[in-house]
Amino acid sequence: MRVRTVVGTMPRQVRVIMSVLVVTAALLVPLLAVPTPTSRAAVEAAGPRATYRLSVVTANIDGAERGRGGDKLGTVQRVLRGSDPDVVMLQEVCWKHFRRFIDANRAWIGPGETWRDHFRFQKLRHHPGCASGKGTQRHGLVLASRHRLSGLTTHRLPNPRSRTPHRFQVMCANVAVRGTLVAFAQDAVRACTTQLRAGRGRASGAGPARQAQAVAVRRVLAPVVERDRAAVVLGGDFNAVPQKGTMSQLYRLSRHGWLTNRRGLFFEADQTGAYASRPAGRAAGLEQIVCRLAPRVCRWGEPTHRSRGQARKLDYVFFGVNRAQPAATTGLLGTQQHLGGDVVRSPSATHEVYLGWADLALDLS
């Protein structure tokens, strides 16, 4: 039986009503968008969701190095005032700087709450550069949020061939994001921060150590992403440029920008850059050429670390592929970016402050 289209013969009033309904549906769908879950069990368990733009600030403040911590904290606070991020991740933080950070953001602490509901510190080692008036030398990671934190966990990372007592961990917590018009589940977001081992050259053994640590981080977070339990955000100082095999443990993108790396579970915030400034001393590679010619995602981003005349990207904000989208979409309202990242210069000549964001599909309560 042939089916004929008769829209063109409809009365004008009916056509207008249908047009309004189509536009309304197009506006509502992004608000309730649900990325394709990664398993059948996830499909069956998926409940109602809404899109939320989650923003994250990460910075290695070099707290124990030549007094840089104070300068970095000042830049972090400037970014916080201008962007009001949901989550803050800091690395190489002295306890004295952590206390200063709490004092600067006490407005986050609501009635009936304590500072531990919004600020968490994980000591990784004692460092003489962190000594304060009371002799406190604690040095480690910070995870903080203007939303309430819960479900804190820490996972130790391997450190083969280590010559120092420096420990490595990934610290995670649930973030109780508060929406303007909707109520999200208390565990809709799982935020994690870490720092991988620094060092260059074969003699240091740092490369294989970072690789093992990145594998361990992926294993910790894989159950959350693959079973679609929450929107995962992972940030910190990974001490490796995007093209290294270490980062292939995390990036869903292959080294040349294709969505073919099945090991990787994450999209990075700044992966739409067009190589405006490549690392010093690097020739134009295949990825640079491709990303300049095609408006598609790339496994690179603006440099976040500057030292000895070199500019490199070492700091990242990753979002789980189960709740994030890799690039822009075009609809009735025009082109909409779903990921973004920006680097803010600080007085220090090393790590900059990095702000990343993504549109995530979060569970409703």
Q: Is the dihedral of CA 232, 234, 156, 248 positive or negative?
A: positive
pTM: predicted TM-score of the whole model, two decimal places: 0.83
- Number of neighbouring beta carbons within 10 Å of residue 103: 9
Residue in 149, 176, 262, 170 with CA at minimum distance from that of residue 220: 170
pLDDT tier at 126, thresholds 50, 70, 90: confident
DSSP 278: P
CA distance 358 to 323: 9
According to the model, what pLDDT value does residue 272 have?
64
pLDDT digits (tens, 9 = 90+) for 131-177: 776 657 888 999 999 999 999 999 999 998 877 667 899 999 999 99
DSSP assignment string, 159-205: -TT--S----EEEEEEEE-B-SSSBB-TTSEEEEEEEPPP--SGGGT
Query: Which own/partner pairs from 331-335 qualify as long-range (CB within 8 Å, at least 24 positions apart)?
Result: 331/26, 331/30, 332/23, 332/26, 332/27, 333/26, 333/27
Do β-strands 310-312 and 334-336 pair in parallel, antiparallel, or remain unpaired?
unpaired
CB 272 within 8 A of CB 297: yes
Q: Which segments of 4-131 does DSSP mark as H helices, in order?
A: 12-28, 40-45, 68-83, 95-104
pLDDT digits (tens, 9 = 90+) for 318-344: 999 999 987 667 677 777 788 899 999
Residues 6 or more apart in contact with residue 184 via CB below 8 angstroms: 50, 52, 176, 177, 178, 362, 363, 364, 365
**How many Å separate Cα 88 from the centre of its chain?**
10
Residue in 127, 133, 39, 144 with CA at minimum distance from that of residue 89: 144
